[in-house]
Homo-oligomer: A and B are copies of this chain.
């Protein structure tokens, strides 16, 4: 696959999610993403206002996370968080499913959890599964429930579990959602080679905090 630097950057959600990053670090990370022309940044909810200020008028969208990184919050809390995030200026929301509900085969609850976030915000909703904890069958189920709930993307990982995006999982997720949703690879993506392989396997978004390192490898 031949991709230009800019084509790749238009698939990169530049991730700034470590909870100990200071306002200064978030600011410079957002400036970097804007200068690089990344498609979006992904910041924690407490940094949405700051990111909006820096990215206003640029081609880099403000993204944030919902129920992150455990997914173990209630549906009510996730919906409130999504509603506020959009109100503050985030137009892309990466939410984590309730992994316990999925493991317990409470599929209606998993679906409703996603639906309420989709309904709470007009933004793009990406549904993080945290594949590290899931069987292949559970990944397929989570893809189907995400589609039924009206989500726009399915996403492999938070970046906070032991493992992240794999080629195999991306291929499975793309096969399951077809062209009905986007597929975002995230978690442990540190090199250009990895990013390209994940895109070849079916990803059309890459979440990484290593954007600088990846671009330097061009």
Q: Which residues from chain A sit less than 8 Å from chain B, CB to CB?
A: 17, 19-24, 26, 44-48, 68-77, 80-81, 84, 88, 98-101, 103-104, 106, 130, 133, 160
For A97, the closest partner residue in chain B by CB is B19
Contacts A77-B77, A77-B84, A80-B80 given; indicate if A103 touches B22 (C-beta within 8 A): yes
Which residues on B sit within 8 Å (CB–CB) of A19?
70-72, 99-100, 130, 133
Identical copies in the complex: 2
Query: Once the chains bind, are A26 and B100 in contact (CB under 8 Å)?
Result: yes
Query: Once the chains bind, are B81 and A74 in contact (CB under 8 Å)?
Result: yes
Given pairs A19-B130, A160-B160, 16 additional interface contacts (CB within 8 A): A19-B99, A19-B100, A22-B100, A26-B100, A44-B100, A45-B72, A45-B73, A46-B72, A46-B75, A46-B98, A48-B74, A68-B70, A69-B70, A74-B81, A77-B77, A77-B81
Question: In the complex, A24→B21 CA distance in Å?
Answer: 37
Which residues on B sit within 8 Å (CB–CB) of A75?
46
Query: Once the chains bind, are B100 and A46 in contact (CB under 8 Å)?
Result: yes
Q: Give the shortest distance, in Å, between A160 (CB) and chain B (any CB).
A: 8
Contacts A77-B80, A81-B77 given; indicate if A103 touches B20 (C-beta within 8 A): yes
Partner of A74, one of B17, B69, B71, B84: B84
Which residues on B sit within 8 Å (CB–CB) of A104?
22-24
Top 3 A-B pairs, shortest CB-CB distance: A44-B72, A20-B133, A23-B104
For A98, the closest partner residue in chain B by CB is B46
Which residues on B sit within 8 Å (CB–CB) of A72?
17, 19, 44-47, 68
Which residues on B sit within 8 Å (CB–CB) of A24?
104
Partner of A100, one of B21, B48, B99, B100: B21
Question: In the complex, A100→B71 CA distance in Å?
Answer: 20
